[in-house]
Amino acid sequence: MASVNKVILVGNLGRDPEVRFMPNGEAVCNFSIATTDSWKDKSGAKQERTEWHNIVMYRKLAEIAGEYLKKGRPVYVEGRLQTRKWQTKEGQDRYTTEIIADQMQMLGGREGGSNASYEGGIDQSSSASDYNQAPSSNQGGSSSGQSAKQAPAKSTGGSGFDDFEDDIPF
């Protein structure tokens, strides 16, 4: 039987990314993402639980993350779980579970102009995704976001389906 090891997270960065380069020149980026679950308990009071996830990225994706991601910013990450075994200085075995990310999408708008060069000069849909992925399969970038913003404006004044145009962006 086939198995699946797939993780999809949407959360906020808990710290600025840390980028290192291995001896072969390959970039490695580490950061953490916080996700929060909320529910109502038996008495109806809202409860929350925040989970922290360690993220690892390699190569070009690591360089992009290190340059454009900042603490507190929302991000979408796709990857797989991996558990590593390591030893402390005292020789005790420790285990760490991480998400090895192969796709990333920055979420939210520009904050304080800190990423103006990214927003204005680089195509977010192709650079922030898996660098091995074919561009034709990644249609969910900034251009479709702009089309989606236009669609509600066209349909809000109409009373029925007659107001829809034939060239729907999806």
Contact 14, 34 (CB under 8 A): yes
What is the Cα 86 distance to its own chain's centre? 27
Q: Average pLDDT for residues 113-134, to the nearest whole number? A: 34
Q: Which of 43-52, 90-99, 149-158, 159-168 has the lowest mean pLDDT?
A: 149-158
Q: Average pLDDT for residues 2-11, to the nearest whole number? A: 93
Residues 9/28/141/170 CA torsion (nearest 10 deg): -60
Per CATH, the homologous superfamily of domain 7-155 is Nucleic acid-binding proteins (2.40.50.140)
CA distance 108 to 120: 15
The model's pTM: 0.60
**Of residues 21, 22, 50, the one with CA closest to residue 38:** 50
The predicted structure's pLDDT at residue 97 = 93
Q: In which band, very low, low, confident or very high, does the pLDDT at 108 lie, cut at 50, 70 and 90?
A: confident
Q: In which band, very low, low, confident or very high, does the pLDDT at 86 lie, cut at 50, 70 and 90?
A: confident
Kind and range of the H or E run holding 120: helix 116-121
Residue 136's identity, in one-letter code, is S
Q: In which band, very low, low, confident or very high, does the pLDDT at 20 lie, cut at 50, 70 and 90?
A: very high
CA distance 153 to 155: 6
Q: In which band, very low, low, confident or very high, does the pLDDT at 1 lie, cut at 50, 70 and 90?
A: confident
Kind and range of the H or E run holding 78: strand 74-87
Q: Which of 8-17, 42-51, 100-109, 123-132 has the lowest mean pLDDT?
A: 123-132
- Give residue-wise pLDDT tens across range 87-105: 999 999 999 999 999 999 8
In the chain, what are the domain boundaries?
7-155
